[in-house]
């Protein structure tokens, strides 16, 4: 085998010339690898197995790669379409340059620009965008990305055979970046089915079809590079990452598994050049299907709402909470008007299971709740003070109009009483006086201990605790004086805790949990 590949490498060097001698070198490397891969004798193998059997991975027959994707592509290609969206925008009015007063010929400039503005016609500007989509129903229902159509006035759908239809928007969702279109045709249209994206494994083959750079009907193949990718595009990030070539214009196109089922909708790329570098992202069908169904049914998205503000749990926070591992979503606030409040969920609870689904991290919960039907009663499992509790919650509809404005604090009252000051965990702490309440704009209804200084080298500084923040709780117990803070920290250390969990409010009224590691001398009050 080694000699055969070596001869092939030598022949490749003569055939491809100097410009492609890298291929010959690569073939030579392949030959070397092939030589190294020749199995040794049975005796050394048996000896190795006796020395370290636990470290060996059982070999499996290497499956053959697909000889061709042609059959799959031929079957699904008729349902993949190009999307052409046109938007008409008004041209901005002409304006005269701002000239300093007393500029020579100022009057002439003004007369010139006014006259030119009156005589020159104002033509609307038309912009076009290209993208991809696919038919999901024979009646003409099409899925694409929301950013492909935007605020388009006209949308055309072009099939591979050149047939063109005008499309109407059924509904859009900017949070997931999906849009559903509808076209009217005299014939039943080819369509593709959805598959189970959760069944896809890293390394599985996938095929992307779309309209990159206006080159309709382009096909690329690759593998699933990663799952559940968070690219910081929104609260529901859960992308499939693939190395199948995805470029501008592929947006809205399908990502197929080897059965010809859509398992993702191509939507974004990570690229310093603007072209494919092998890092593309697709919305998995597990995330997209509930949205698509709601857009078809209601013309809008109706997401579930729990009414909690959550934050992530790291190892330090888990230790401060007495958890065995860093998992779940920490409740940092409960909306008084939300279903969580009615069900008895409290600030400081750790949500670990929602409607039978494990909540591994805080970013899992918004997606799970959003996909829950409005009005459904679900079981929410929380850890509270080290014990598991299950609460029944009836899910409400997510409000899309934002949060209510906070009321302004009343005018501070004068108070000349001195404040008690102590130091703990790298912070200088003080009782809240009217003077400090006015200095840091602390609302009258906020009670706790104000931070008046932070050591820049302390863990408190690293955790973004700032001067003017108010510590409301230590170890999930309210505090009102620096002495109580110090005593609570000493109590946690006596319990064997390595971290202290603080409930902190900033000047804007935002409340969050902060876990601070306790060194041997960090909790000493001074």
DSSP-derived secondary structure letter, 194:
B
Give the helix ranges, DSSP H, for 299-363.
315-321, 339-343
Structure tokens at 285: 């069908």
Look at residues 439, 419, 417 and name the one whose alpha carbon lies nearest to residue 482. Answer: 419
Look at residues 251, 209, 187, 189 and name the one whose alpha carbon lies nearest to residue 77. Answer: 209
Q: Which of 173, 177, 237, 319 is flagged as catalytic?
A: 177
- Between CA 306 and CA 81 the distance in angstroms is 38
Q: Which of 129, 132, 197, 251 is flagged as catalytic?
A: 251
In the residue annotation, 251 being an active-site residue is answered as: yes
Structure tokens at 525: 């009050």
In the residue annotation, 177 being an active-site residue is answered as: yes
Handedness of CA 327, 328, 329, 332 (dihedral sign): negative
- Between CA 494 and CA 490 the distance in angstroms is 6
**φ/ψ (deg, to 5) at 29:** -65, -40
| CA dist 154 → 85, 89, 129, 215 (Å) | 6, 12, 11, 20
Q: Which of 129, 132, 147, 237 is flagged as catalytic?
A: 147
- Between CA 323 and CA 160 the distance in angstroms is 56
In the residue annotation, 237 being an active-site residue is answered as: no
- Between CA 210 and CA 251 the distance in angstroms is 8
Catalytic residues: 147, 177, 251
């Amino acid at each position: 085998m080694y000699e055969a590949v070596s001869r092939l490498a030598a022949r490749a060097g003569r055939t491809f010339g100097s410009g492609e001698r890298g291929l010959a070198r690569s073939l030579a490397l392949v030959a070397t690898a092939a030589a190294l891969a020749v199995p040794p004798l049975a005796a050394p193998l048996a000896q190795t197995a006796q020395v370290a059997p636990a470290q060996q991975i059982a070999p499996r027959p290497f499956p053959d790669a697909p000889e061709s994707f042609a059959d799959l592509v031929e079957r699904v290609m008729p349902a993949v379409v190009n999307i052409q969206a046109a938007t008409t925008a008004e041209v901005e009015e002409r304006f005269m340059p701002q000239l300093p007063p007393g500029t020579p010929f100022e009057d002439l400039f003004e007369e010139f620009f006014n006259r030119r503005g009156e005589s020159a016609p104002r033509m609307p500007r038309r912009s076009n965008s290209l993208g991809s989509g696919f038919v999901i129903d024979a009646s003409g229902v099409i899925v694409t990305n929301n950013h492909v159509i935007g605020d388009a006035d006209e949308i055309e759908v072009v099939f591979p055979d050149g047939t063109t239809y005008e499309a109407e928007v059924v509904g859009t969702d900017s949070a997931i970046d999906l849009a559903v279109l509808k076209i009217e045709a005299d014939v039943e249209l080819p369509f593709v089915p959805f598959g189970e994206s959760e069944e896809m494994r890293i390394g599985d083959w996938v095929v992307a079809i779309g309209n990159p750079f206006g080159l309709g009907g382009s096909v690329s193949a690759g593998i699933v590079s990663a799952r559940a990718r968070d690219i910081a595009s929104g609260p529901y990030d859960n992308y499939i990452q693939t190395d199948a070539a995805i470029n501008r214009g592929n947006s809205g196109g399908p990502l197929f598994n080897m059965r010809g089922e859509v398992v993702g909708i191509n939507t974004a790329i990570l690229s310093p050049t603007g072209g494919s570098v092998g890092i593309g992202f697709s919305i998995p069908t597990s995330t997209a299907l509930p949205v698509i169904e709601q857009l078809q049914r209601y013309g809008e998205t109706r997401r579930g709402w729990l009414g909690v503000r959550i934050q992530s749990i790291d190892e330090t926070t888990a230790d401060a909470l007495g958890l065995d591992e860093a998992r779940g979503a920490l409740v940092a606030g409960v909306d008084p008007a939300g279903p969580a409040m009615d069900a008895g969920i409290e600030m400081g609870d750790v949500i670990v299971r929602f409607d039978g689904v494990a909540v591994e991290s805080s970013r899992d919960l918004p997606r799970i709740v959003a996909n829950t039907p409005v009005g459904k009663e679900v079981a929410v499992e929380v850890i509270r003070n080290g014990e598991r509790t299950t609460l029944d919650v009836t899910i409400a509809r997510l409000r899309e109009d934002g949060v209510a404005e906070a009321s302004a604090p009343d005018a501070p009252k004068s108070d000349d009483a001195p404040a008690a000051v102590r130091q703990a965990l790298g912070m200088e702490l003080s009782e809240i006086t009217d003077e400090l309440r006015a200095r840091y704009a602390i609302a009258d209804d906020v009670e706790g201990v104000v931070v008046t200084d932070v050591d820049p080298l302390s863990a408190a500084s690293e955790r973004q605790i700032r001067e003017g923040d108010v510590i409301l709780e230590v170890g999930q117990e309210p505090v009102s004086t620096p002495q109580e803070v110090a005593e609570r920290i000493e109590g946690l250390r006596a319990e064997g805790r390595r971290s202290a969990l603080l409930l902190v409010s900033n000047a804007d009224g935002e409340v969050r949990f902060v876990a601070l590691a306790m060194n041997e001398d960090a909790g000493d009050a001074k």
